[in-house]
Amino acid sequence: MRTAPSTDLTASGVVAVLRAPSAAAYLPVVQTLIASGVTSVELTLTTPGTLDALPALVSALPHTAEIGVGTVLTADHARAAIDGGARFLVTPAIKPDVIRVAVDAGIRVYPGAMTPTEVEAGWDLGATAVKVFPAQTLGPDYLRHLHGPFPHIPLLPSGGIDLAAIPSWIEAGAIAVSLGGPLLGAVFRDQDADALALRCRAALRAVSDARGVRR
């Protein structure tokens, strides 16, 4: 059975995508994100130690945090992430085994897709929404055109989206935007939580303004 996107994700319209030097750097950054209103956070498996650190990290965060695991390429990693407390999974491509594990567990899953064929395949396998990747290369008009034949498929653009581009993606029909470097900046190097909080607020405001709702 398909699991719908969380109300937190659809309300905020932002997913933070974290690629850190190591999983030990996650906690203070995630705490700042959550305190700033970005409660959907994707921890990527390209960060060393993510699966090992996940249970303790989830336990240390408030229940309002929706912590997921991204760059999931195998069913074994999908199961390990779910066992560790992940509330959603993200893949960079259509990975049927990963999607099935998530669907069977009742966990939200966002498979990556680029072409119309891939978008439909991910949805047919039970995706919560389909991640359109690499978003900035494709552009908001591409997303708008995908909605023509697929008005029933929620789309989540990811990859290279900067803060100034957020309104264009929301206006094109994205349910939310996944933000990596442009949102995180140099926080893993400079630990500037105040600057991160400002970027979070700017991103959330851009989403709400594009939706016609003032924060």
Residue 171: in which H helix or E strand, if any? helix 166-171
> Is 83 within the bounds of a domain?
yes
Q: Are 175 and 155 within 8 A, CB to CB?
A: yes
Q: Choose among 7, 9, 27, 5: nearest CA to 18.
A: 27
Above 50 in pLDDT, residue 215? no
∠ Cα 32 93 184 (to 5°) = 20
Across 19-45, average pLDDT: 98
% residues pLDDT > 90 (the chain)? 97
Q: Is 137 part of any domain?
A: yes
For the segment 163-175, what is each residue's pLDDT rounded down to a tens digit?
999 999 999 999 9
Q: Residue 190: exposed, middle, or buried by beta-carbon count in 10 A (0-12, 13-18, 19+)?
A: exposed
Torsion of CA 3, 9, 10, 14, to 10 degrees: -140
Q: pTM score, two decimals?
A: 0.96
Domain-embedded: residue 107: yes
> 214 pLDDT exceeds 80?
no
Q: Which of 127, 136, 121, 122 is nearest to 177 (CA)?
A: 136
Report yes or no on 34 lying in a domain.
yes
* pLDDT above 90 (res 153): yes
What are 112-139's pLDDT values in tens digits?
999 999 999 999 999 999 999 999 999 9
Q: How far is the C-alpha of 159 from the C-alpha of 170, rounded, in Å?
A: 15
Is position 197 within any domain?
yes
- Domain residues for 13? 7-207
CATH of the domain at 184: 3.20.20.70
Q: Which amino acid is at 139?
A: G
Please give the mean pLDDT across all residues of the chain: 97
Mean pLDDT of 28-45: 98
Domain assignment present for residue 1? The answer is no
* In a domain? residue 67: yes
pLDDT at residue number 213 = 59
pLDDT above 70 as % of the chain: 99
Output b/e per residue, 72-100; b: 16+ Cβ within 10 A.
beebebbbbbbebbbbbbbbbebbeebbe
Q: How far apart are CA 22 and CA 215, in angstroms?
A: 34
Average of per-residue pLDDT across 78-100 = 99
**Does some domain include residue 138?**
yes
Q: 143 pLDDT exceeds 70? A: yes
Q: What's the structural domain count of the chain?
A: 1
